[in-house]
Amino acid sequence: MTTLEEKIEKTVQWLKDQVKNSNTNGLIVGISGGIDSAVVAFLIKKAFPQNSMGVIMPIKSNPKDREDALKVIDACKIDYLDLDLTDIHDMIFNKVIDNLKQKNIYNENNHTISDANLRARIRMSTLYTIANNLNYLVVGTDNAAEVYTGYFTKYGDGGVDILPIANLTKREVYEWAKILGVPQDIINKAPSAGLWEGQTDEKEMGTTYDMIDDLLEGKQIPQRDKQIIQNLHKRSEHKRNLPPSPPKF
């Protein structure tokens, strides 16, 4: 059986291969202060000690998230940029909302989700601006549970070049985090997209990562959770595929 250390080593080698095969020079990731990006930051720093970059991008975020991101950076010693994008988000969001209101088509019910997903897409654009300049690949942080449920913003945090931990359940992310040396504070935090005050992944999804992981491992779970997870999976099918186009007429 392959040990966890061997799996990590193989993933680091895979990252090196991705850069080599794409004729790029290194890897970049957004560091949020959460566990998924912490694990990815440790992995890319191992693969490219001199050519890896982490980017902290607060957008009206809880200052604690930035402090946690700095703890990750301090622990894995990755090079980093610290870019507050709040003003940029305000500018785009307010301009759009004002114009929708003027036309009387603004939908208040969707205010929070459009604000939240714009945050993820501004971060994506920022990462690609840096990646273009340094000739780096943008590394995503989605794990198997997030991919299966579609719990990411299409073309936001989902808009990336490679996904090194997409086969890991959330449980496995925790196991890898311990071995890699991710600080305990980060391991202990409740998973959150941090897109609005008090948001946690499990509250929003209405089920738990344990349930999603169990389902992915083929274990029996309560019917209620199974239904929620299968519904999330079905509704997000479009996020895992290329945009559909009509046949040639």
Ligand X SMILES: Nc1ncnc2c1ncn2[C@@H]1O[C@H](COP(=O)(O)OP(=O)(O)OP(=O)(O)O)[C@@H](O)[C@H]1O
- Binding of ligand DND at residue 151 (CB under 6 A)? yes
Say which of 65, 68, 146, 201 is annotated catalytic: 146
- Binding of ligand X at residue 236 (CB under 6 A)? no
Answer yes or no: 197 catalytic.
Answer: no
Least separation in angstroms between residue 99's CB and Mg ion is 31
What span, in angstroms and rounded, lies between the C-alpha atoms of 109 and 218? 37
Q: Which two tokens stand for residue 136?
A: 């780096």
- Binding of ligand DND at residue 153 (CB under 6 A)? yes
Binding residues among 132-191 for ligand X as defined by CB under 6 A: 141, 157, 191
Say whether 139 sits in a helix, a strand or coil: strand
Answer yes or no: 79 catalytic.
Answer: no
Residue 22 annotated as binding site = no
Least separation in angstroms between residue 159's CB and ligand X is 10
- Binding of ligand DND at residue 203 (CB under 6 A)? no
Cβ-based neighbour number of residue 62 at 10 Å = 14
Q: Which two tokens stand for residue 84?
A: 């507050």
Residue 236 annotated as binding site = no
Residue 11, phi then psi, degrees to nearest 5: -65, -40
- Binding of ligand DND at residue 154 (CB under 6 A)? yes
Q: Which two tokens stand for residue 119?
A: 């945050």
- Binding of Mg ion at residue 58 (CB under 5 A)? no
Task: Tell me, rounded to whole angstroms, the distance of Cα 176 from its chain centroid.
Answer: 16
* Token pair 């997903």 in the structure block, residue: 117
Least separation in angstroms between residue 151's CB and ligand DND is 5
Residue among 146, 140, 94, 101 nearest 115 (CA): 94
State the binding site for deamido-NAD(+). 121, 154, 161, 238-239
**Where do contacts with ligand X occur on this chain (CB under 6 A)?**
29-32, 34-37, 55-58, 61, 65, 123, 141, 157, 191-194, 201
State the binding site for Mg(2+). 36, 146
